[in-house]
């Protein structure tokens, strides 16, 4: 089934990891040290070493947070409060980190706020890519950077399976493929077009996780495999045959304001005039309160999502 954009007037579905054991089931002791190392190599190539304000969307339990040590303030945003609580347990209550539970399609921040946003292992769960890109572009300052990863449908293994008639869907077709509910693979050309249509200029691309095969990972030590992967990531300029593609894009904006107007904005009425109380953010414009639950800003409630 093809997707990548929700029907007009229909709210996109959200993949919710609330209460899941994703950290233990997918990462810890699950043979994915190579993938973690390869992704870190790619991010170090794309991230600028320091900055004022960075947001990782879909931050989960904070696996990649140590890569942001050069940034003054880091917003870790996820739709799952339980995942953010795990991140808080790992990283502590350092004032550099803000933990925010919110909807990607309705980010609780004012326009033109962030210098950098990051999504890794997130877009393969996003039903409406254009809507997500528009919202991320909105909260980026002019010339701010969006670093993203997406699952590539035109990777070598998929091409071989299709050629041998062991796979029905065509890896060369441009439309996304939903192979399991709310799990999508994307064609590189389709993603590049969506980025450009939503106001992003692509600066750099990398191919990542070239050796994501159980046999190869058993035979070669993870650090060596990741190092070889890192030496091949530049090949995105020639072809994109790896299962994972990383991109750095720049937000192009005309006549942005000199300074963002505030920080948080109300997800319900979009007012930037939120007042922080002891245990909630109060919106005097629509009389909603957004809880602050043990250090986690909770914008999931009162939204009807």
Sorted by where each starts, the structural domains of the chain and their CATH numbers stand as: 22-259 (3.40.50.150), 264-305 (2.20.25)
Bridge partners, residue 77, by sequence? 57, 100
**pTM over the 0.75 mark:** yes
Q: What are phi and psi of 7, to 5 degrees?
A: -65, 150
- Looking at the predicted structure, is the pLDDT value of residue 180 above 90? yes
The pair of structure tokens assigned to 199 is 């106001």
| Contact criterion met (CB below 8 Å) for 86 and 61 | yes
Q: Which of 181, 156, 180 is nearest to 244 (CA)?
A: 156
Mean pLDDT (whole number) for 222-251: 98
- Looking at the predicted structure, is the pLDDT value of residue 285 above 50? yes
The set of residues, in sequence order, having a beta carbon less than 8 Å from that of 40 and lying 6+ positions away, is 64, 67
Q: Which residue has the tokens 């190599």?
A: 41
Q: What angle do CA 150, 250, 77 make, to 5 degrees?
A: 55
pLDDT tens digits, 3-33: 566 666 678 999 999 999 999 999 999 999 9
The pair of structure tokens assigned to 116 is 């950098």
pLDDT tens digits, 57-69: 999 999 999 999 9
């Amino acid at each position: 089934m093809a997707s990548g954009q929700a029907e007009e007037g229909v709210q996109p579905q959200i993949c919710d990891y609330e209460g899941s054991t994703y950290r233990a089931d997918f990462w810890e002791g699950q043979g994915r040290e190579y993938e973690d190392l390869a992704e870190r190599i790619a991010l170090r190539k794309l991230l600028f070493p320091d900055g004022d304000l960075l947001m990782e969307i879909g931050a989960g339990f904070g696996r990649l947070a140590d890569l942001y040590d050069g940034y003054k303030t880091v917003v870790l945003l996820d739709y799952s409060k339980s995942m953010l609580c795990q991140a808080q347990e790992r990283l502590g209550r350092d004032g550099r980190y803000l933990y925010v539970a919110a909807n990607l399609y309705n980010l609780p921040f004012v326009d033109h706020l962030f210098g950098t946003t990051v999504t890794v292992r997130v877009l393969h769960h996003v039903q409406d890519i254009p809507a997500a890109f528009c919202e991320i572009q909105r909260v980026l300052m002019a010339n701010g950077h969006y670093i993203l990863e997406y699952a590539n449908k035109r990777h070598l293994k998929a091409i071989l399976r299709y050629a041998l008639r062991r796979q029905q869907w065509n890896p060369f077709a441009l439309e996304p493929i939903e192979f399991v509910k709310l799990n999508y693979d994307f064609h590189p050309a389709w993603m590049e077009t969506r980025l450009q249509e939503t106001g992003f200029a692509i600066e750099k691309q990398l191919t990542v996780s070239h050796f994501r095969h159980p046999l190869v990972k058993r035979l070669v030590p993870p650090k060596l495999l990741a190092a070889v992967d890192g030496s091949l990531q530049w090949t995105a300029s020639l072809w994109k045959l790896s299962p994972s593609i990383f991109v750095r894009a720049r937000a192009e904006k005309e006549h942005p304001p000199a300074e963002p107007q505030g920080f948080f904005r109300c997800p319900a009425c979009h007012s930037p005039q939120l007042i922080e109380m002891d245990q909630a953010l109060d919106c005097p414009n629509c009389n909603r309160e957004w809880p602050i639950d043990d250090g986690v800003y909770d914008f999931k409630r009162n939204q009807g999502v």
